Amino acid sequence: MNNQFKVPASSARTYETIKKSRFIATVQRASSVEEAKNFIEKIKKEFPNATHNCWAYQAGAPGTSTLAGKSDDGEPHSTAGKPMLNILINSQIGEIAAVVTRYFGGVKLGTGGLIRAYSGVLKKALADLKVKKKIITVDIIFTVKYNDITSVKHILGLFEAKIIQEVYKENVLFKVAAPKEKAEEFKTSITNMLNYQPVFK
């Protein structure tokens, strides 16, 4: 698994009319199943009179079906949710949820037409979506002496590690989130900087 992947930096929305039916695709970041479900409910409330609010989400890393879900919301089986989820899984974007809203226009599209419609409008929304990089981190806990705080924070900056917690007692306990691929190198740098052995937990 890569130590970083793309996630949505914002939301995106695309509109399309196909044979008199109005389709609205909305995509947004969802870093958990709960976030994805909250987003879906928000869109349903925004378009309460829609004929369908079909959805799919992949709340994990790209290319996996873990933390994923889908719904045809009344459309014929596998004509909306499944093709939408397939697009998300193959998009190289993780932690993402999508809702495609449909206002039926009176003309039936057929199974193939529905799959093309839901897939097509979602692809357009993804094309407009701004993304950013998510770095997978691991938590590292260690203690150092007070006069080493400045040096420790310098090394944190070099490794793009973020302080989660600092506890000041007899010594200083740091809990930091370090990029997974640099975790061991980070520990080595901390150890080499000190003239004593730091305590890693």
Model pLDDT for residues 173-196, shown as the tens digit of each residue: 999 998 888 888 999 999 888 888
Model pLDDT for residues 91-116, shown as the tens digit of each residue: 999 999 999 999 999 999 999 999 99
Q: Are residues 79 and 39 in the same domain?
A: yes
pLDDT at 40: 97
Beta strands in 9-67 (DSSP E): 12-18, 21-29, 52-58
What CATH code is carried by the domain that includes residue 113?
A: 3.30.230.30
Question: For residue 94, with 0-12 CB atoms within 10 Å meaning exposed, 13-18 middle and 19 or more buried, which class applies?
Answer: buried
Q: Give every CB contact of residue 126 below 8 A, 6+ residues apart in sequence.
A: 12, 27, 87, 91, 93
Q: How far apart are CA 90 and CA 178, in angstroms?
A: 28
133, 151, 169 — which closes off a domain? 133
Q: Are residues 142 and 92 in the same domain?
A: no
Number of domains in the chain: 2
pTM above 0.85, yes or no: no
pLDDT at 79: 95
Q: State both tokens at 27.
A: 């995509």
Q: Which domain holds residue 36?
A: 4-133
Judge whether residue 126 has pLDDT over 60.
Answer: yes
Query: Residues 63, 89: contact at Cβ < 8 Å?
Result: yes
Judge whether residue 1 has pLDDT over 50.
Answer: no
